[in-house]
Amino acid sequence: MNRVRLEELEKALDRRKAELGFSGGQYVLPNAGSNRTAEKRELLEAIRNTASRAGKTPAFLSKMPTKDAPGR
């Protein structure tokens, strides 16, 4: 078993992220949502609408159009 110090692991992960072109905290690829169930889409839309009515932005980013948006 190899022992690795957390500092060494962190440096190795940072190097690998840099090699892949990721930077900062934006290295997780967003989920396109193309396989979401209708129930999940409705839930996300309800969250988005509730946040909108409260004048806030939902905690998630969505490229899915809302029911009111054209193209749906």
Residue in the block written with tokens 């998630």: 60
User: In terms of pTM, does the model score above 0.75?
Assistant: no
Which of 19, 41, 5, 54 shows the shortest CA–CA distance to 62? 41
Which of 68, 69, 60 shows the shortest CA–CA distance to 36? 60
Chain centroid to CA 22: 14
Chain centroid to CA 36: 14
Is 62 in contact with 48 (CB distance < 8 Å)?
yes
**Does 9 score more than 60 pLDDT?**
yes
- pLDDT tens string 15-30: 998 888 877 766 666 6
Q: Which two tokens stand for residue 6?
A: 């957390």
